């Protein structure tokens, strides 16, 4: 089954202090066509094939920053998010019949990248030590 993928890279500037996103920017990457085995491919199989085609490491091996709980990857079809177990040619259960994707439909795949911003405040009895001369007095 041939699938047209419109990849997006969502870069989150993540505050280590506030433990939340400070800024989000989305980069549109070059579209690519993937050949998935069989007609019953799922959204999770599309995500795996896409990560492999882009030479990205699997999402399960990415390091989460404290406070980040969102999924690393998403698949969208006609503006609706597909769940990992959803079959690709069919629309998600919540969508109407008109949204069902024909063969060769374009899927948008979004990968989240975290960019650490700032620093953490030292807590009492923390393993961090100061190297400044002023505190040695």
The phi, psi pair for 20, rounded to 5°, reads -155, 165
β-strands 80-82, 73-77: how paired? antiparallel
- Using DSSP, state whether 102 is helix, strand or coil: coil
Q: What is the mean pLDDT of residues 18-43?
A: 91
**Whether the predicted pLDDT of 92 surpasses 90:** no
- pTM for the complete prediction? 0.73
Q: What is the mean pLDDT of residues 9-33?
A: 94
Domains annotated for the chain, with CATH where assigned, are 2-116 (3.10.20.90)
CA-CA-CA-CA dihedral for 99, 42, 52, 102, to nearest 10: -30
Write out the H or E segment, with its range, that includes residue 35.
strand 32-35
Q: Name the band, by pLDDT with cuts 50, 70 and 90, for residue 110.
A: very high
């Amino acid at each position: 089954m041939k699938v047209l993928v419109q990849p997006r890279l969502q870069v989150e500037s993540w505050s280590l202090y506030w433990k939340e996103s400070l800024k989000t920017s989305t980069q549109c990457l070059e579209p690519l066509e993937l050949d998935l085995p069989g007609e019953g491919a799922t959204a999770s199989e599309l995500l795996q094939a896409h990560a492999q085609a882009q030479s990205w490491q699997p999402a399960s091996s990415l390091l989460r920053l404290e406070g980040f709980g969102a999924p690393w990857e998403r698949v969208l079809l006609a503006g609706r998010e597909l769940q990992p177990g959803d079959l690709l040619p069919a629309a998600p259960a919540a969508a109407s019949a008109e949204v069902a994707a024909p063969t060769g439909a374009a899927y948008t795949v979004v990968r989240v990248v975290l960019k650490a911003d700032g620093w953490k405040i030292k807590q009492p009895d923390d393993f961090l030590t100061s190297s400044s001369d002023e505190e040695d007095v």
